[in-house]
Amino acid sequence: MMVSKLKENKLLIYIFIVTTSALFLLISSTSSPLYPMNPWVDVNAYFTVGRGMLHGKVPYVDLFDVKGPLVFYLYSVMALISDNTFFGVFAIEFILFSLFLCSAYKITTLYISNIEVRMFVTAYVAFATVSSYAFEKGTSVEEICLWAMTYALYLVLRSAKTEKSLTTVEAMIIGLLGAWCFWIKYTMFGLFIGLAFYVIIKYFFSDKEHFIKLLLSFLFGFFVLSAAIIIALACQGALSEAVNSYFFANVSQYSETSNNSKVLSVIISVVKGTISFTARNLQISIVVWMGLVLAIFDKKTSAKLVLSIAFASLLFFDYGGGVRNRYYALVFAVFLPACLGEIIRWMNKKGLLGEDLINSKIIVVIFTAILITLTYFISDNTRLLRYSKADMPQFQFAEIINQTPNATILNYGYLDTGLYFATGIDPSNKYFYIPNKVMEDAAHNEQNQILLNGKVDYIVSVNPLDEKYTNYELVEQDYFDFDGLTYYLYFKR
């Protein structure tokens, strides 16, 4: 009877997590079928490369970008599901976000015995993540790494709180998860470096033999996935370009820290990033800071080292380069379940509401519904729900462009506006958009030569073309108030 009850509760929890994931994402992510399209320039660039790979294009070689190769393999799968809608993107986003919430729930089991409170905490994690300023338009590389980072944190936290040694299998899993993040955006590997520091402190002096086993297991897991990615790139003839773009170009050109007084510059950058994260994402930052403080100042909390070192390491790698894009802060959502657990543990200790806060699953459902409703009003993205495809310049221009057989297009002078997606046309040149900072001069030079020589049929830009490009004439322009941009469409004379 007890086993049957446990299975029933487990099934109910999974249903709750999956449903919660779907509902929050449907409202907040512009990759959702409720939205006409995801207008975010980053996501459109990933989709353009991913879909291009299905048509024989080689990442980094034929289509330039600076994100890790695993991003493009993932987006190829998304485009394989649907190459003319964002349904495939949303489907994978939903799966990965559900895994994130499952990992978050697992962390709550380390702190909270009441199932209803665990469920509520999980719902709050979903709410705080998708309604935050850092969520941007949805399906960011940070979002698709949340599940891996959170599960790795869970494994190490469980070891710390139960005072059981981390196993070699767990270390290998953490290595695999670390590789997932490393080959998507290597700054997120900062969390794993923090976890590694904890493992060194915990095992290096007390049990060196076990430490070596853990290290080898982690490296094995890391290299299994890494080897698969490296082999895939080598088979495509893209390995050298991938290394140059993903590592060297990013490090040398994207960082904004000064070469003079480098240490001071990094410290200032981290402080500014911390302030930005805290001030702009209150639904995440208030909980995380409260939980960290409570953990650090509680002498009996075995997880204080795990949380504090992992957080500090991630903070350093996330903001140490000097760039503070809004979506960078999303990674700190991985600390929400543990920090909420610390807060509820403290409330129990003080005789406050604590685990008696919620004792009915109906109340959990009501609270979750309230949080979903709040998401609709808080999220920046829901403004886009009032638009249809017909209202968007991308689809208006696509209708014109697709009247020309075998048309060629160029997204000129700006990030990927989504025209490649809307038209279903792959770029015909390497620098199909202008990246921020990285290889910007090379991209401008290539695009300018294309215009001078009239190599494509259509040009889309968010600024009027220079008068020297007399071989193109303006055929359509449209102001889109959602993003505040005017889009211009030019046709070769």
DSSP string over 177-239? HHHHHHTT-GGGGHHHHHHHHHHHHHHTTT-HHHHHHHHHHHHHHHHHHHHHHHHHHHHTT-H
- pTM given for the model: 0.95
| Domain identity same for 185 and 302 | yes
Q: Which of 366, 384, 402 is the last residue of a domain?
A: 384
Q: Are 320 and 459 contained in the same domain?
A: no
Look at the chain and report how many structural domains it folds into. 2
Range of the domain at 433: 389-492
Of 351, 384, 417, the position where a domain reaches its end is 384
Identify whether residues 102 and 213 lie together within a single domain. Answer: yes
Judgement on whether residues 452 and 358 belong to the same structural domain of the protein: no
- The region, left, alpha or beta by phi > 0 then psi within -120 to 50, assigned to residue 82 is beta
Same domain, 120 and 191: yes
**Domain identity same for 176 and 234:** yes
9 within domain boundaries: yes
Would you give per-residue pLDDT tens digits along the chain (493 residues)? 444 555 558 899 999 999 999 999 999 999 999 999 999 999 999 999 999 999 999 999 999 999 999 999 999 999 999 999 999 999 999 999 999 999 999 999 999 999 999 999 999 999 999 999 999 999 999 999 999 999 999 999 999 999 999 999 999 999 999 999 999 999 999 999 999 999 999 999 899 999 999 999 999 999 999 999 999 999 999 999 999 999 988 877 666 655 556 889 999 999 999 999 999 999 999 999 999 999 998 877 778 999 999 999 999 999 998 889 999 999 999 999 999 999 998 988 887 765 666 778 899 999 999 999 999 999 999 999 999 999 999 999 999 999 999 999 999 999 999 999 999 999 999 999 999 877 889 999 999 999 999 999 999 999 999 999 999 999 999 999 999 999 999 999 9
Confirm whether 453 is domain-assigned. yes
Do 379 and 398 fall into the same domain?
A: no
Q: Would 70 be classed as within a structural domain? A: no
Domain contains 41: no
- Within-domain flag for 208: yes
Residues 341 and 431 placed together within one structural domain of the fold = no
CA 248 to chain centre: 22
Same-domain pairing of 225 and 345:
yes
Last-in-domain residue among 384, 400, 421 = 384
Q: Which of 150, 156, 158 is nearest to 334 (CA)?
A: 150
Q: Is residue 66 part of a domain?
A: no
Task: Decide: helix, strand or coil at residue 478.
Answer: strand
Contacts for 73-81: CB closer than 8 Å, 24+ residues apart: 73/229, 73/232, 74/50, 74/144, 74/184, 75/46, 75/47, 75/49, 75/50, 75/51, 76/50, 76/51, 77/50, 78/47, 78/50, 79/47, 79/50, 79/51, 79/54, 80/54
Q: Judge whether 97 and 21 are in contact, CB under 8 Å.
A: yes
Whether residue 25 is contained in a domain is answered as yes
- 11 and 125 co-located in one domain: yes
In a domain, 52, yes or no: no
Residue in this structure with the two tokens 């895939």, named with its chain if needed: 232
**Within 13 Å, how many C-alpha atoms sit on residue 17's CB side?**
23
φ, ψ for residue 32 (rounded to 5)?
Answer: -60, 145
Residue 2: what pLDDT? Answer: 46
DSSP 298: -
Based on the domain organization, do 369 and 394 belong to the same domain?
A: no
Do 408 and 277 fall within a single domain?
no
Q: How far apart are CA 38 and CA 31, in angstroms?
A: 5
